[in-house]
Amino acid sequence: MKLRPATPADIPTLERWDTKAHVIACTGADDAPDWAGELEQVGPWYECLIGEVGGRPVGVVQIIDPAEEPTHYWGDCGPGLRAIDIWIGEEADLGRGLGTLMMGQAIGRCFAPAEVRAILIDPLMSNVRAQVFYRRLGFEDVGTRRFGEDDCLVMRLERSAWAAQSSLKE
Ligand SMILES: CC(C)(COP(=O)(O)OP(=O)(O)OC[C@H]1O[C@@H](n2cnc3c(N)ncnc32)[C@H](O)[C@@H]1OP(=O)(O)O)[C@@H](O)C(=O)NCCC(=O)NCCS
């Protein structure tokens, strides 16, 4: 598994994935992204990464600094945090361990700067399988929160929890 920056050449793939039922189901009331516009936003507070296996794109992960993201989607949450969004593109690639590999790398990237204390994630309340997936990675439930028209479960992974878990794996 390799994570690499998404480029304009990935837009047709990203748009195709946006039509998939499992992707639509996890995005709630939000419209499908305008990918050209999204990729123009990449910079100090936003990374958009493609997960590739053997050169084949299998999923996408977005990492933001919620304090710097201009819409302040996460509210006034202060520095030292990151927020992640992830999905696998093709149905046939779900449940094969690829998401776990992508998240392992994305989490490592988030915690690379020493000032990052924790990572936030906001699956829909209805997306119980994703919540199980995140708990398995060490995320803990913070509480429910309404983002726009969506009821979400805010989950949080502390640096210390990840460090303890990674050292167990070594
Ligand atoms: C959540 C997701 C990224 C996990 O990646 P993955 O490669 O499928 O997961 P892994 O094979 O590493 O781990 C398996 C676990 O993922 C979760 N999972 C599997 N398929 C899923 C699906 N269609 N939707 C949500 N979670 C799923 C389950 O917890 C599963 O564990 P289980 O088999 O014991 O039920 C991926 O399933 C996905 O893209 N789901 C749809 C979109 C989504 O829900 N994204 C998260 C938005 S917050």
Pocket test for ligand 1, best of 60, 94, 154 (most atoms within 8 A of CB): 94
Cβ of residue 99 lying under 6 Å from some atom of ligand 1: yes
Distance 161 CA to ligand 1 centre (A): 21
**Strand ordering across the sheet containing 81-88:** 2-5, 46-53, 56-64, 81-88, 118-121, 150-158, 140-147
Per the domain annotation, does 164 fall within a domain? no
Pick left, alpha or beta for residue 55 (phi over 0 → left; psi -120 to 50 → alpha; otherwise beta): left
Ligand 1 touching residue 103 (CB < 6 A) = no
- Residue 28 is predicted with a pLDDT of 84
Q: Where are the alpha helices (DSSP H) in the chain?
A: 11-18, 21-27, 35-40, 98-111, 128-136, 159-169
Domains held by the chain: number: 1
Within a domain: residue 130?
Answer: no
Task: Give the model's pLDDT for residue 60.
Answer: 98
CB distance 153 to ligand 1 below 6 Å: no
Residue nearest to atom 5 of ligand 1 (CA): 99
pLDDT tens, N- to C-terminus, the chain (170 residues)? 999 999 999 999 999 999 999 999 999 887 889 999 999 999 999 999 999 999 999 999 999 999 999 999 999 889 999 999 999 999 999 999 999 999 999 999 999 999 999 999 999 999 999 999 999 999 999 999 999 899 999 999 999 999 998 766 65
Query: Does residue 21 form part of some domain?
Result: yes
61 domain residue, yes or no? yes
Residue 39 belongs to some domain of the structure: yes
Say yes or no: CB of residue 91 within 6 Å of ligand 1: no
For residue 133, give the ligand 1 atom closest to its CA: 29
Q: Is residue 156 part of a domain?
A: no
Q: Which residues pair with 86 in a beta bridge?
A: 61
Pairing label, strands 2-5, 118-121: unpaired
- Domain CATH code at residue 48: 3.40.630.30
Our CA dihedral for 152, 60, 131, 34, rounded to 10 degrees, sits at 20
Q: What is the pLDDT of residue 30?
A: 79
Find the domain containing 59 and state its range.
Answer: 2-121
* 62 ligand 1 Cβ < 6 A: no
- pLDDT number for residue 155: 98
Contacting residues for 11 by C-beta, under 8 A, at least 6 apart? 35, 36, 39
In a domain, 131, yes or no: no
Q: Flag whether 117 is in a domain.
A: yes
Separation between Cα atoms, residue 159 and residue 48, nearest integer Å: 22
User: Are the CB atoms for 159 and 138 separated by under 8 Å?
Assistant: no
pTM above threshold 0.85: yes
Give the residue carrying structure tokens 């924790």.
118
Q: Which atom of ligand 1 is nearest to the CA of 87?
A: 39
Instruction: Tell me, in angstroms, the distance from the centre of ligand 1 to residue 94's CA.
Output: 6
